[in-house]
Every structure is written in structure tokens, then in C-alpha cells.
Amino acid sequence: MPTYNPPLRDMQFVIHELFHATEELKACPKHADVDAETINAVLEEGGKFAAEVTFPLNITGDEEGCKLDIATHEVTTPKGFKEAYAKYVEGGWPALSCDPEFGGQGLPFLVNQCFYEMLNSANQAWTMYPGLSHGAYEALHAHGTDEQKKQYLPKLVSGEWTGTMCLTEPHCGTDLGLLRTRAEPQPDGTYRITGNKIFISAGEHDMAENIIHLVLARLPDAPQGSKGISLFAVPKYNLKPDGSMGERNGIYCGGLEHKMGIHGNATAQLVLDGAIGTLVGAPNKGLPAMFVMMNAARLGVGNQSLGLTEVAFQNALAYAKDRIQMRSLSGPKAKDKPADPIIVHPDVRKMLLTAKAYAEGGRALAVWCTLLLDKELHHADEKVRADSGEMVALLTPIVKAFLTDNGHIATNACMQVFGGHGYIKEWGMEQFVRDNRINMIYEGTNTVQSLDLMGRKVLGNNGATLKKFGKLVAQLVEEEGVNEKMAEFINPVAYLGEQVTKLTTELGFKAFQNADEVGGASVDYLRVLGHLVFGYLFARMAQVALKEIEGGNTDPFYPAKLQTARFYFARLFPETATLMRTARSGVKNLLDTDLALA
């Protein structure tokens, strides 16, 4: 059976020593009083909840799955899920980073980020139920009417109700301009919504008394394509004038998807049969409102793979220390045993360190991104808010795609450490692989994220935001460029930064001549930028570790951090050379292939 220990020490390192988050947040009036002790205490209790309440349900939830009663359209979640959610609500966890005006605790998003990493390590399928509610809360908080906020936000904040996002339809996935769900205006200002939605995570369940669905649909006079989409709030149970729940609304579960993983989460086919909804935001402006939720979800999906990378690493490491198999090539290491523990073998260490490096780099990126998000929303300086928002926009597709791709690499590597036992269900490793696989697909496939990054976030503004990130790299190089002890960490980042500038210019010129060049290069390009961001963060982490060691700190955490950084730069970072070569190879070898694909 797998185990899980919350990585609190590394979280504290990233929050307090790498980013000095509490100092940064002093410039945000809403978070000026948040101190390190509060953050640490919250995360310690959050780690206990994840490890003790939701983690024990991970394997059983996967085995049992969700059950749909065709007659009533009600879904029953796996045994223990409902009770765990009740404890989650009782503990006040849904309100952690929500607005105090609606009952929230008002803590920074970065606290919620770390808490949710632990929940995802413990049980991704369970975590998706409350996780999606945060996105619904954010969308309504940003675009809802005063009446909608009054009706829905206090219940979403308390966790009494949950939320979903209903985008995809059977005939269209990412291309939302093709959606057909229609909304008919009613004399009382509401709308009757009819259509079908699929792949709706947490779309129906028994864990909360009401579900608020955010549904994309078309008004009768809507223009074609994505410019004719509106957003509606559609509750499972309609509300009476006093806010209490009334009759069942015309939205119900017509089926559950049979999936490769995340079996404990109800991925629903939803039927809307004249369901009553209210307009969120302006008519035909549904996508900007929904993008609030979608961007939150994209950061959340990256966090899901980060959580799985961490828990897979922990279990593979424990197994590698215990499992004896063969002797070290350089001679016996455990002479009192008939064979050596497999952790002595170089390739086993390579697999373990790959997962460890991707977990620690991913954690640094995820925390940085949410700290920037906190600054975008609450910093006192308008320019800082704008710059932070711009950087979040650049990093969001990297968080979603790079972290989930890395999660795929890491969970598979950790399963490999177990050998044949990794393929057997009782060890839990194959579930981590299966659960992670969806993260590369939903909330916009990783190819879509790559197109967004290269097409919109980089070429779309002539590399202006990328240049701002480049200045951060240049600043670090200037600080440590003459420090011989930092050379092994700084030089690769400085070199790649120069190469990325050249690559971006070349690809931009090609794309100007032929837009398909973006489609041919974008996936490789995102991965190159992902490594540039990781390299920058690992160099900064090494900088902190070296200063602590030079200052006489004997905590083994710091030399361990340096060893992980050295491995990353030696074994993972060099992937960028191949990626830049393939990105430059052009789109002809992909499109001039009609005979090969006949």
C-alpha cells in the first residue's frame, strides 16, 4: 500500500526562503498582516487532512468508482467521499482564500495552492469536487451580478454547494465556437437552456446539497462562432425568493464516462431540458467570463500533476531503499544482504531524481505563479498589478502543459522503479500513472496550451512579456555571474536565454510567412520555455542554498537541494538542444506527408 507525507519543509523553503512571500505580500493591503507562522500552521493542518482523511480513500475510490441511478439521475460517490467532504467543510477549508465579504478567510492564493498540492497527492479524484468550486466562485466573483453573488457565493465559499464548468459538447471539444446549447429568454429575466454537455467533472454527486453549473450557451440572435457565446448560472435545484432551495431544475445526469483514471470523480454527461438559468456577464460575452474559471482550472490541473509527481516519488524512493536486487556494478554495498537495495543502481537514481527535480521545480513555479496572482489582484501599485498579471498570463500555459507532461514522465519513471510490482494495482503506482494521464488532455490539451503560449502570449505581443522574463534572468546572471560556485547553475540559464531569443525571432519570422509554422513548432517551444523557467528557478534555489551553507547552516536540506539542481541541469535541462532543433525543422516535414498518412 502506498504512503504519503506532506512535503512541508520544501513548501516552507519555496514560500519563505526563495520568494519571501510574506514580505512581498506586505504591499498587498488585504494580505499585509499574513505572517509565516500563520501560513505554516495552516499548511501543517492541511497536510494532516490530506494524509489522514483523503489519502486513505484514494485506492478504494479508484476501485469502487461512482454509480449512476438511471431512474433518478442521482450519482453516488465512492464510500467515504461524502464523509470526507463533510469534514472538509466543517474544517472551513473551502473558505481558505475566498473573500471575507462572502464568508471567506481571505488568505493568499499561494496558501490554497500548497494545500491543494497536498490534496492532489492524496486523492486527485476527490479533490476535483471542491477544486472546481473555486473556479466557479472566481468566475461569479468577477462577473456575477450582485444578486448572483448574494445567492451563490456564500454557499460556494462555505462548501455547502459545489460548482462546475459546462463547456464541452459531443460534437465539439476545445472549439467552443461550434457549441449548440441554446438559451431562450423568459419574461421574468431568466433563460430556459436546452442542450447536452459531456466530460463535466464533478457534474453530479451526493457530496453537497446543491451544484451551481456555469453553462455556455447561445442566445437566439447570437452571432456564429465564439463571439456568440453567453454564460449562465444554472443550479441543480432552483432557489426560492428567500434563497432556500426549491424544485429540481431541468439539468440532470444522463450518463457517466468510463475512464482510464480518476474513477472516484463523476465525469458526467449532462442533459439540459429547459433548465432555468441566469445570465452571467453581458450577452455574447460568455468566454471572457468563463476564462476566469478556465485559467484557474489550468493552474489547478498543473497542480494536480505536481501532486501526483510528489506522491509517486515518495513511494518509489521508499521502495528503492527497501527492495534488494542484484549487486552494484562497482561491488557489493549491502554486504550483510544477498543483494543490494536497487537505489545503488545509477539508472534507478536517475528515475528517482527525475521525479524529485520535476516535483521541486514544479512546486517553485506553481507557488511563484500564485504569488504573482495575489499581487495582480491585491497589490497597492497599479503597475505591479499589471506586470504581475502579464507574467501570470505567460506562465499559465507553462504551468498547465509543462507540469502535466513532466507528471507523465515522472509517474511512469516511478512505476518503472517498482519493476513488475509497479504494474500491479495494490502498490498504487499504476493508479498515479492513470490518474495523471487526463491532466495532459483536459482544460485545453497541451497542444492548445502550446499554441496559446507561442501564438498569443509571445508572438501576439512581439515578445514583450517574454522580454520581461528575460530581464529577470539577466538580473540573476548579473548578481551571480562572477560567483564561481554559481557558475554551474547560472551559465546554462544564461546560454539558453540567449538561444530562446534567437529561436523566438526565427519562429516569428517563419510564422509571419506561414501561420502553420506556429502549429509545427509550438509544442517543442513550450517545453523549451518550461526548462528556461525551471532553470531560472533552480538557479535561484541553488543561490539560496549556497548562501545558507556558506553562512554555517548544517541542515542537510541545502546540500540536497544543490544535488537535485545539479542533476536537473546535467540530465534534464539539455533536452532543450534537441527541442530547439526540432522546432526549427519547419512544418514541411509534417504537412507534406499526404502519402505517408493516406
Q: List CB contacts of 253: < 8 A, sequence separation 6 or more.
A: 68, 73, 74, 75, 203, 204, 266, 268, 269, 270, 271
Rg of the Cα trace of the chain?
24
Find, among 273, 103, 107, 97, the residue nearest to 182 by Cα: 273
Q: How far apart are CA 108 and CA 104, in angstroms?
A: 11
CA distance 264 to 527: 31
Q: Are 529 and 500 in contact (CB under 8 A)?
A: yes
Q: What's CA 452's distance to the chain center, in Å?
A: 16
Active site residues: 443
State the DSSP code for 532. H
Phi, psi of 543 (to 5 degrees): -60, -45
DSSP string, 309-352: HHHHHHHHHHHHHH-B-S--TTS-S-TTSSS-BGGGSHHHHHHH
Identify whether the C-beta of residue 157 lies closer than 8 Å to the C-beta of residue 192: no
Residue 486: partners with Cβ closer than 8 Å, 6 or more residues away: 480, 539, 542, 543, 546
Look up residue 255 and give its amino acid. G
Question: How far apart, in whole angstroms, are the C-alpha atoms of residue 236 and residue 250?
Answer: 8
CA-nearest of 319, 324, 305, 375 to 351 is 319
Cα distances from 20 to residues 151, 368, 455, in angstroms, run 38, 11, 33
